[in-house]
A and B are shown apart, each in its own frame.
Chain A
Amino acid sequence: MEYTKINGKSTGSYVLIGILAIMVAVGLYEFIQGMIQGHESFGTSNIVPWGLPITSVIFFIGASAGALMLSSLTYVFGKEEYKPVSRVSIFLAILLIIGALTTILGELGRPDRFMNLFLYGPGNLSSMFAVNSFLYTGYIILSIVYLWTTFRDDLLKITKLLGAMAATLAIFVHTGTGAIFGFIVAKELWFSPLLPILFIVAALTSGVALLILILTVTFKLIGYKMDEKLVVGLGKYLTAFLLLQLFLVFIENIVRTYGGMGGGEMSKFLFEGPYSFVFWGIQIIFGTVLPIIILSSKKTMIKVQIASLLAVIGVFAERFSLVIPGQSVPSQQVVGRTMMGLYGEPAVYSISGAEVAIILGVVGAIGIAYIIGLRFIKLLPSQP
């Protein structure tokens, strides 16, 4: 199979790069402001210290892991029909994980001390952050080598081996990301052994869906013809992942409701609190059930595209309704006794412009890197 670079010298591509560059500039401005002034303009509080940036970090990591696992369809399992999109999916996986780490930088209180993670991290490997910083670094390096070997036809066996290794590492990377939350005994909505598994399934969903979206849009913009059979094939995987995700979300919430940990305060907040529309409306109905219904009819290109868009939104909502409502309710201090006044009330997190700007800045940077990558590396299949 032959690959090609894109020309990318049209006015449209420069306009697109310009828009993305503005996003990067605004994000960078807010990041520097946050570094100088502190996080006063953020929407976070002492009760909800993790806001939207962490939500998008785990979304990016998930999409990255999902995209990388998908590339193993071609290079490990030998499914040749997905070959046209496998190389670019590895490239996207690398961009997304680097984007995720950049977003973490924007969320840290002291981003200038970032190197401490590598200096002192080995001293406390019971912290999932410390373990993950090494997992992510290894994952980035392995993915880059894996991408390089796909350019060499004489290294097919090594590509297969590296593909299997990278996909395994992707699973561990996302298990580690899930464990960041799953290990926290203080938060009833987080402390669950199912969480890492749910993270991997959600990663696959968002990875496939995001890949379908980005690739169909890219092909459309540069005037290539997308093979409908390929998209429909990916749509089948998407259906399976969505069903599995719905099942796991159901199991986890049925356990929460049945067990009623901590008086069921936190699950009640998730189901009936101010964020319940994110859970019921966006995550369950809009982001999971609706795409399953769309995909269960005869699949066409446009149907799969719409379902992918909904699934991406659904997975982001799933992350949101884990991170934010999970922290909102202050935990009881004496079991069975409620704290009076402000201290016992759930803290409502309001999304702030600074956080959105930082996230959009990272999205812009990923976009620019993607366009430049397509221009200088042979990532896309050449047209017959």
Chain B
Amino acid sequence: MVRYGMVIDLDRCVGCAACAVACKAENSVTSSTPEDYKNRRLMEWNRVVTVFKGKFPNVSASIMPLICNHCEHPPCVKVCPVDATYKREDGLVLQRYERCIGCKYCMVACPYQQRFFNFYDQKKKYVERFEKEAEELKKENKNVPITYLEIPYHNPDVPSRISGIVEKCTFCRHRIDKAIAEGKKIGSPDGVEPACTQACPAKTRTFGDLDDPDSEVSRLLRSRRNYQLRADLGTEPQVYYLD
């Protein structure tokens, strides 16, 4: 059996957030506005946070990239009333966007806040925003960059999301599916890997098959001390952190 997972070595992480940028570009996750930030509606499949313990001057802090943990016992799958969120045989927790009714039950059930609601139509908002900016540029008699109107960027491999549904990290399923179809090797260091893993300049992340004893992830988990996020909740995350 294949069971995909990720190992994140926190000793290597420099907190540059290249993974977050790569994820946004790869999965065409909508760019958030200042209002979204204020209203806590950020779309961040991948985010980099700092956790700390203690009071100054005795503080210990560490930078942590957070993604969907693709749990072995996912609470989001358990609560989905329309079976839109499901766990694939290879361990990926995925969604059928066309089935989601937007009840947001998975969002309250996820202990990791890794699910994001589409408060508006991503594509419509994108077009509206750039049309407005182009108009303003025209008023000032400046050149309008061609990217503003003619190439609304969207990765053709990733389905677009309409307003009113929930979305989340997919472990770049389109890359994995493509690799399976083309018979390529999957997993770090020399195979196909998710965009965040590929983008990391410090080789913080390692992606691969947790059930394969020869894979890089298994080797890392054997050799180093590791933990999962909120293992006390019994969700069995498939993303491991090395400390």
A residues at B contact (CB < 8 Å): 35, 37-40, 42, 44-50, 104, 107-111, 113-114, 116-117, 119-121, 123-124, 126-130, 133, 180, 183-187, 327, 330-344, 347
Contact = CB atoms under 8 A, between A and B. Distances in A.
B217 to A, nearest CB: 20
B119 A39 contact: yes
Contacts of A114: 101
Contacts of A39: 117, 119, 163-164
Interface string B148-168: 000000000000001111100
Given A128-B79, A186-B111, A333 B101 contact: no
Given A116-B101, A333-B49, A45 B40 contact: yes
Interface in B181-204: none
A50 B108 contact: yes
A184 to B, nearest CB: 5
Interface stretch (B18-26, B131-139, B218-226, B230-238): B230-238
Contacts of B164: 35, 38-39, 108-110
A117 B82 contact: yes
Contact of A46 (B41, B111, B163): B41
A368 B108 CA distance: 34
By size class, the interface of chain B is 35 or more
A106 to B, nearest CB: 12
A180 B104 CA distance: 12
12 contacts: A45-B39, A45-B40, A108-B164, A127-B78, A127-B105, A184-B108, A186-B233, A339-B50, A341-B50, A342-B37, A343-B47, A343-B49
A339 B117 contact: no
B51 A338 contact: yes
Interface of B: 37, 39-42, 47, 49-53, 61-62, 64, 66, 75, 77-84, 99-105, 107-113, 115-121, 162-166, 227, 229-230, 232-234
B230 to A, nearest CB: 7
Given A49-B117, A110-B164, A340-B61, A333 B78 contact: no
Contact of A330 (B64, B101, B113, B120): B113
A38 B77 CA distance: 24
B51 A333 contact: yes
Contacts of A180: 105
B103 to A, nearest CB: 6
B168 to A, nearest CB: 11
A354 to B, nearest CB: 12
B35 to A, nearest CB: 9
Given A37-B120, A127-B105, A110 B165 contact: yes
A185 B101 contact: no
B71 to A, nearest CB: 11
A341 B120 CA distance: 26
Contact of A333 (B53, B107, B165, B230): B230
B60 to A, nearest CB: 9
A124 B83 contact: yes
Contact of B102 (A110, A336, A337): A110
Given A109-B164, A128-B79, A334 B64 contact: yes
